[in-house]
């Protein structure tokens, strides 16, 4: 039985499963003493495994981190950066001194107050792993504590992205944790979760592979403004949030229809028509920067993709329309072609450097591969069969690579295994890898200086260890740009360099809509699930 046939068979069976009240597709476990309906049950696209958002870039950890931790600055639904843990900030006339003041009454989950020392230690820890943090520290003279709620950042030269850095919404997130934890080694996750966010992590109840539990933080002090994405008041209206692990896509959808889970992070494409007809379910809308960008990452630390000509051959072989068609999405949920590293239909969308794709195709790919001197080296392709998105994308890309002439070895496993293996820099003979399809959330791409397509250049990148010497001075020029026009010019030149060097291959922009029970109120549209401000109304 093929995967596609199995999915269509699941569609046929779903209605019966969902209509049978006696079938418990996902057993609930409300907190003791909680009123009915006070638990929000969520199925994320991937399982929560790592609890430290500084040592991983996985989306499940991102969702978790924004619930239990908080950040100094938050980005709203318009992409604007607003004070979050901060009461505000002041900038000197020469743009070299930033003074930050914390809101009064902030406390960690262990009862201790949040202080300026905690903030500085947390930012220094974050900057050891995150490219935007490293860029900031490269132009910083240092921090200075002024009082328990106030600290200062002194720069050696003007830097245009200080506030954007402190409000970075994803990948390694600049969350604030106690100084005693922030000062531990950044090479491994912190041993305990102590944050100041709207929810508390229940380590004692966690069942890895089954369920994770978070309870409302009674000591959390939300901002007075209305909630707006990662800015404003983060109101924890549910007593508990459960993250329910469900590897099977059909089971997830059936559980949603049977009211056994309340929210799915991503709806598998085959089930969208079914859920659109279900009056008890609402499909979320995503546009522009809230959408997803598919990517293909190449291991540039090892042959054959340390050869730019080989990367260019693969770039020509990947057809965005074919990859997007594999997802089975309705036509209004994906773009036929998008080559902007800043997302299409978004504020900073660009066409710079895209003229090379006029001649793309398998014929051009084969010619470039022959010119490259490729000697039929084994190419290990990491294929995450458990992901509703990465599985079909991977199958199409793998087929195109074979047709282009790559000697492909497809290593199929679950996403957790893929995520772990892609950390290896070893050659394929020692368990390494060559290429892996992944996805980026659009919200992470709209800021050029923090864009993972270019910002990890020649650094400790989690994305294939690309390095383009031409891009290094451009990143410095971008950091010093004083006007939006100057930033746009440099951003365009960075995108052109990205395509020429083939840092990463863009495989297409699409919507990955969430779905939730229609009785839920306050669900905010965003690039990833925001699990506060949600209540249950009839």
User: What pLDDT is attached to residue 15?
Assistant: 40
Helix (H) or strand (E) run with residue 314 in it:
helix 308-317
User: What pLDDT is attached to residue 479?
Assistant: 85
* Pair 522, 33: CB distance under 8 Å: no
For residue 206, CA distances in Å to 128, 146, 196, 228, 260 come to: 29, 40, 20, 30, 19
Closest CA to 303 of 165, 428, 153: 428
Question: Residue 137: CA atoms inside 13 Å, Cβ hemisphere, count?
Answer: 14
User: What pLDDT is attached to residue 1?
Assistant: 36
Residue 414 falls in which region: left (phi positive, over 0), alpha (psi -120 to 50) or beta: beta
User: What pLDDT is attached to residue 37?
Assistant: 62
Q: Domains plus CATH for the chain?
A: 3-26+34-67+189-287+513-536 (3.40.190.10), 70-182 (3.90.76.10), 290-510 (3.10.105.10)
Question: Residue 66: CA atoms inside 13 Å, Cβ hemisphere, count?
Answer: 29
Give strand pairing partners of 381: 410, 435
For residues 153 and 176, give the distance between their C-alpha atoms in angstroms, rounded to a whole number.
16
What residues in the chain have per-residue pLDDT under 70? 1-37, 538
Do β-strands 263-264 and 515-517 pair in parallel, antiparallel, or remain unpaired?
antiparallel
Q: From the CB of residue 379, how many other CB atoms can be counted at a distance below 10 Å?
A: 25
């Amino acid at each position: 039985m093929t995967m596609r046939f199995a999915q269509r068979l699941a569609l046929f069976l779903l209605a019966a499963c969902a209509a049978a009240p006696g079938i418990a597709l996902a057993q609930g476990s409300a907190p003791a003493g909680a009123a009915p309906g006070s638990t929000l049950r969520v199925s994320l696209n991937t399982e929560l495994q790592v609890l430290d958002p500084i040592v991983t870039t996985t989306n499940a950890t991102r969702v978790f981190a924004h619930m239990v931790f908080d950040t100094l600055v938050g980005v709203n639904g318009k992409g604007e950066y607003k004070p979050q843990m901060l009461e505000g900030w002041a900038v000197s006339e020469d743009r070299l001194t930033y003074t930050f003041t914390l809101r009064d009454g902030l406390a960690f989950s262990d009862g201790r107050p949040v202080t300026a020392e905690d903030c500085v230690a947390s930012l220094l820890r974050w900057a050891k792993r995150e490219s935007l943090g490293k860029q900031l520290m490269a132009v910083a003279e240092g921090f200075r504590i002024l009082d328990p709620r106030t600290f200062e950042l002194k720069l050696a030269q003007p830097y245009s992205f200080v506030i954007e850095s402190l409000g970075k919404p994803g990948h390694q997130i600049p969350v604030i944790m106690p100084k005693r934890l922030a000062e531990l080694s950044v090479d491994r996750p912190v041993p305990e979760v102590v944050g100041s966010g709207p929810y508390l992590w229940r380590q004692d109840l966690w069942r890895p592979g089954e369920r994770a539990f978070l309870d409302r933080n009674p000591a959390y002090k939300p901002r007075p403004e209305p909630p707006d994405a990662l800015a404003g008041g983060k109101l924890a209206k549910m007593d508990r949030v459960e993250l329910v692990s469900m590897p099977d896509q059909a089971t997830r959808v059936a559980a949603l229809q049977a009211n056994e889970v309340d929210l799915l992070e991503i709806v598998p494409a085959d089930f969208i028509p079914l859920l659109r007809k279900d009056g008890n379910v609402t499909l979320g809308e995503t546009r522009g920067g809230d959408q997803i960008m598919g990517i293909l990452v190449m291991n540039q630390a090892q042959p054959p993709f340390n050869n730019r000509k080989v990367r260019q051959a693969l770039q020509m072989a990947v057809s965005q329309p074919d990859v997007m068609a594999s997802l089975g999405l309705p036509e209004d949920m994906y773009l036929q072609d998008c080559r902007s590293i800043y997302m299409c239909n978004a504020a900073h969308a660009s066409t710079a450097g895209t003229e090379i794709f006029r001649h793309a195709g398998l014929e051009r790919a084969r010619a470039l591969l022959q010119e490259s001197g490729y000697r039929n080296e084994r190419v290990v392709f990491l294929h995450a069969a458990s992901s509703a998105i990465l599985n079909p994308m991977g199958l199409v890309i793998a087929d195109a690579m074979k047709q282009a002439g790559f000697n492909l070895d497809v290593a199929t496993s679950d996403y957790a295994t893929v995520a772990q293996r892609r950390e290896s820099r070893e050659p394929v003979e020692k368990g390494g890898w060559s290429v892996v399809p992944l996805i980026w959330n659009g919200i992470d791409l709209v800021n050029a200086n923090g864009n993972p397509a270019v910002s990890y250049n020649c650094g400790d990148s989690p994305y294939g260890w690309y390095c383009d010497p031409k891009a290094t001075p451009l990143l410095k020029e971008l950091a010093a740009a004083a006007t939006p026009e100057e930033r746009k010019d440099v951003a365009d030149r960075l995108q052109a360099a990205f395509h020429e060097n083939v840092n990463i291959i863009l495989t297409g922009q699409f919507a990955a809509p969430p779905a939730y029970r229609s009785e839920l109120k306050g669900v905010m549209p965003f690039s990833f699930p925001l699990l506060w401000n949600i209540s249950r109304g009839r």
